[in-house]
Structure 1
Amino acid sequence: MHSAVFLIEFGAIILGLGLLGRVAGRLKFSPIPLYLLAGLAFGEGGLLPLPASEEFVAIGAEIGVILLLLMLGLEYTASDLVSNLKTQYPAGLVDFTLNALPGAVAALLMGWGPVAAVVLAGVTWISSSGVIAKVMGDLGRLGNRETPVILSILVLEDLAMAVYLPIITALLAGVSLAAGSATLAIALGVAGAVLFVAVRYGRLISRFVSSDDPEKLLLVVLGLTLLVAGIAQQLQVSAAVGAFLVGIALSGEVAEGTHTLLSPLRDLFAAVFFVFFGLHTDPASIPPVLLPALALAFVTALTKVATGYWAAKRAGVGVKGRWRAGGTLVARGEFSIVIAGLAVTAGIEPEMGPLATAYVLILVVIGPLTARYTEPVAAWISKRRSSDGPRPDTAPPPAKSPGAVPDQDPAGRA
Structure 2
Amino acid sequence: MGGHVVETTSIMFDVGVIATVGFVGAAFASRARVPIIIGYIIAGMLIGPNIHFHLFGWSYDGILADSVFLQSISQLGLVLLLFFVGLEFSITKLMRTKEAAAVLAVTNLAVNMFAGFVIGAWLGWPLIDTIFMAGVISMSSSAITAKSLIDLKRLGNAETEFLLGMVILESFLAMFLLTLVNGMIVPSDTPVNVGLLFGGVGLFIGFFALLAAVVVPRTAAIFERIKNEELFVLFALGTVFLAASLAEAFRIPAIVGAFFMGMVFADTRIAGRMKVKMESLRDAFVAIFFLTFGMLIDPAALGSVLPMLAIAVPLILLNDLFLTASLAYFIGFSGRASTAIGTSLVARNEEAILYATVGARAIRANPQLSNDYAGTYLTPFAGILCIVMSSLAPILMGRSNRIAAFFASRLPKSLRFGAELVKRTLKTVIMPNFLPIYRRKRLFQASLIFYAAWIIDLTVTTGMAHLAMSLLTPVFVFGVWASARHAFREPVRHTNYGVDGGPFSRSTIETFVLRIVVGALAIVGLVAILWQYYWPVTLVILYAYFLVVVFSMKVVHRRLGLGITRRVARVRLVRHMPTARSWRAASGMRR
Q: Is the structural similarity TM-score above 0.5?
A: yes
Output aligned runs, 1:217-256, within 5 Å.
217-250=232-265, 251-256=267-272
CA RMSD of aligned residues (A): 3.5
Mark the CA change 1:134 to 1:95 in structure 2 (over 3 Å): closer, same or farther: closer
Output aligned runs, 1:48-63, within 5 Å.
48-51=61-64, 54-63=67-76
Output aligned runs, 1:262-411, within 5 Å.
262-306=278-322, 309=325, 313=329, 314=331, 316=333, 318-319=337-338, 321-328=340-347, 332-344=352-364, 345=366, 346-348=368-370, 350-382=372-404
Contact 1:150 / 1:329 at 8 angstroms: preserved in 2?
no
Q: In structure 1, what is the equivalent of residue 167 of structure 2? A: 150
Query: Is residue 29 of structure 1 aligned with residue 51 of structure 2?
Result: no
Mark the CA change 1:6 to 1:159 in structure 2 (over 3 Å): closer, same or farther: same
Cα deviation for residue 274 of structure 1 reads 0.8
Contact 1:41 / 1:48 at 8 angstroms: preserved in 2?
no
Distance 2:309 2:70 in 1: 27
Number of corresponding residues: 384
TM-score (norm: length of structure 1): 0.79
The equivalent position to 1:199 in structure 2, one of 208, 213, 229, is 213
Deviates more, 1:369-378 or 1:63-72: 369-378
Distance 1:31 1:81 in 2: 28
Contact 2:179 / 2:252 at 8 angstroms: preserved in 1?
yes
Distance 1:34 1:376 in 2: 22
Q: In structure 2, what is the equivalent of residue 98 of structure 1? A: 111
Q: In structure 2, what is the equivalent of residue 19 of structure 1? A: 24
Cα deviation for residue 38 of structure 1 reads 1.0
Higher relative contact order (CA 8 A, sep 6+): 1
Distance 2:136 2:333 in 1: 24
Cα deviation code 1:23-62 (max 9, x no counterpart): 3333433111111011111112224434467333212211
Output aligned runs, 1:127-138, within 5 Å.
132-136=141-145, 138=147
Distance 1:329 1:235 in 2: 29
Distance 2:321 2:404 in 1: 16
Query: Is residue 71 of structure 1 aligned with residue 54 of structure 2?
Result: no
The SS at the match of 1:201 is: helix
Cα deviation for residue 221 of structure 1 reads 0.6
User: Runs of 5+ in structure 2 lacking a partner?
Assistant: 1-5, 52-59, 412-430, 433-591
Distance 1:266 1:310 in 2: 37
Cα deviation for residue 235 of structure 1 reads 0.9
Distance 1:316 1:176 in 2: 46
Contact 1:100 / 1:122 at 8 angstroms: preserved in 2?
no
Amino acid at match of 1:121: I
Cα deviation for residue 356 of structure 1 reads 1.6
Amino acid at match of 1:236: R
Contact 2:133 / 2:374 at 8 angstroms: preserved in 1?
no
Q: In structure 2, what is the equivalent of residue 402 of structure 1? A: none
Distance 1:85 1:193 in 2: 24
Mark the CA change 1:89 to 1:70 in structure 2 (over 3 Å): closer, same or farther: same
The equivalent position to 1:187 in structure 2, one of 174, 188, 201, is 201
Distance 2:323 2:207 in 1: 30
Amino acid at match of 1:240: I
The SS at the match of 2:399 is: helix
Deviates more, 1:99-108 or 1:11-20: 99-108
Mark the CA change 1:302 to 1:54 in structure 2 (over 3 Å): closer, same or farther: farther
Q: Report % sequence identity.
A: 18
Q: In structure 2, what is the equivalent of residue 6 of structure 1? A: 11
Distance 1:110 1:50 in 2: 34
Mark the CA change 1:231 to 1:61 in structure 2 (over 3 Å): closer, same or farther: same
Distance 2:323 2:178 in 1: 18
Deviates more, 1:17-26 or 1:297-306: 297-306
Cα deviation code 1:253-294 (max 9, x no counterpart): 411111111111121111111111111222223323432343
